[in-house]
Amino acid sequence: MEYVIGIDVGTSGTKGLLVTADGRIAAAATVEYGMSYPRPGWAEQDPEQWWDAARRAIGRLLERAEGGAAAVRAVGLTGQMHSSVFLDEADRVIRPALLWCDQRTQEQCDRIVAAVGFRRLIELTANRALTGFTAPKLLWLREREPDNYRRLRRLLLAKDFIRFKLTGEYVTDVSDASGTLFLDVARRRWSAEMLDLLEIDPAILPRVCESPDLTGRVTAEAAAATGLASGTPVVAGGGDQAAGAVGNGVVREGPALITIGTSGVVFASADRPAVDPEARLHSFCHAVPGLWHTMGVMLAAGGSLRWLRETLREAAPGLDYDRMDAAAAAVPGGAEGLLFLPYLTGERTPHFDGHARGVFFGLSLKHGLGHLVRSVMEGVAFGLLDSVRLMREAGTRMEVVYLSGGGARSGLWASIVASTVGLPLKRLAVDEGPSFGAALLALTGIGAFTGPAEAADRVLAIKDEIAPDPALAAVYARAYERFRGLYPALQDRFDAGA
């Protein structure tokens, strides 16, 4: 038996999949970790924590591999995008990584726009400057921690730090690099003009390549640390959303993907860069060579429900997602007037506001646990609809829509989303998202498939389809109009320091 391993460096944990050469999942392992919030709006993690989790996950997978490490033909990587790893000249981590959901860099975003110009920024990178992106994080380091900036020799993204630990190579791929604001997305290469305008030394950036490319081999030191065989190929992989799209069959123009993970994403492939002059949506390179994708992103989707669970657990230690789901199912659609704005860590699409915060609106003595849970689920669905509407306005093709992520495993939440966006949603028999996509990219990289599209076509199968409920759809159409009115009414009240 021969295998590949897909590794996903997530926000709440690192997940590994052991996948056979014909695309079947043989084993899975997840190692969880926490996040640090030094100040409101800040979010950090220790990259060495990711490496420790990756080592442990790989070790557990190798225990399940027939033939052990010698049977593993390649490793593929994916992970949270934008999160910035700063290394010194000895390749030591300088400080905790600033994560994708960190909102401290609005001033740096404003300075990027002032230095480059909004229109030129869109021309160069296909995107606007957002607090989650990598470039403003680097500028923040330069301005706020100059001693650390002087030590900086390498800038890596989350999955690429694991690649470095495995291979000693500094490499990223075009899909992950698209979220740095340093990539010329249309030409799939670093933008010399952006680096020059922002006075960034290009030597700190990793080499950029396509997602199925071989990027190095496991070193003897990494083999000793992980149990992998020395010399095992490591394939580039992709950012979590692009890899997740591969793992869900969104590998050509036409299909789209809605993901309810920690963040919420609406993703559609395109044959060319689809650049909105106002950059209301992200336009990134796909993990499929020769493709791009359009993406709407909300920062706290499943993260909102997780926050609610953790908060309520202080009073009810046994509370879990199954109990929350059952409580929400007992409440009518619309949560009897209770609305939730899911902006716990600011928001991207459609508001691009790092100062925005979460809100429960319409609370009364009638509302209980089920109402709180259901309003969070519905608020996330309304946030996803914001992106779907923008994509429709932009002419994005959404012929088939898949639903993925941890939140998609809830039949109730899936029905809420389908009824809100007004689209039938297909769920796959295998829903392992980014880690499975990383494994398919690894199989492609070693020649098991001719490309990611063939890999997805041969391996993936539909489990079920969730149709919109007409009665719920009518309720949500009215509730969504109230939801849309809340942010403009509160926008001037949100305080960046709150």
Is 3-247+433-460's fold the same as 298-427+468-493's?
A: yes
pLDDT band at 27 (very low <50, low <70, confident <90, very high): very high
Tokens 């942010």 label which residue? 487
- Euclidean distance between CA atoms 180 and 318, whole angstroms: 40
Q: What mean pLDDT do residues 477-483 have?
A: 97
State the Rg of the chain over Cα.
Answer: 21
> What span, in angstroms and rounded, lies between the C-alpha atoms of 265 and 262?
10
Mean pLDDT of 327-346: 96
Determine the pLDDT at residue 256: 94
**Segment 337-355 mean pLDDT:** 92
Nearest one of 394, 389, 386 to 484, comparing CA atoms: 386
Which is it for strands 154-157 and 84-87: parallel, antiparallel or unpaired?
antiparallel
Residue 160 has pLDDT above 80, yes or no: yes
Q: Are 46 and 67 in contact (CB under 8 A)?
A: no
Check residue 494 and give its pLDDT: 87
All structural domains of the chain with their residue ranges: 3-247+433-460, 298-427+468-493
Q: Is the pTM of this model over 0.85?
A: yes
pLDDT at 498 over 70: no
As a CATH number, domain 298-427+468-493 is 3.30.420.40
Residues of the chain with pLDDT > 90, as a percent, come to: 88
Residue 30 to residue 17: CA distance in whole angstroms? 9
> Tell me, what's the pLDDT at 430?
83
Planar angle of CA 199, 201, 204, nearest 5 degrees: 140
Min mean pLDDT across 59-63, 227-231, 292-296, 352-356 is at 352-356
Strands 282-285 and 264-270: unpaired
pLDDT at 483 over 70: yes
What does the pLDDT look like over 423-441, one tens digit per residue? 999 999 888 889 999 999 9
The confidence score (pLDDT) of residue 489 equals: 95
What fold is seen in the domain 3-247+433-460? Nucleotidyltransferase; domain 5 (3.30.420)
Please identify every residue annotated as catalytic: 240
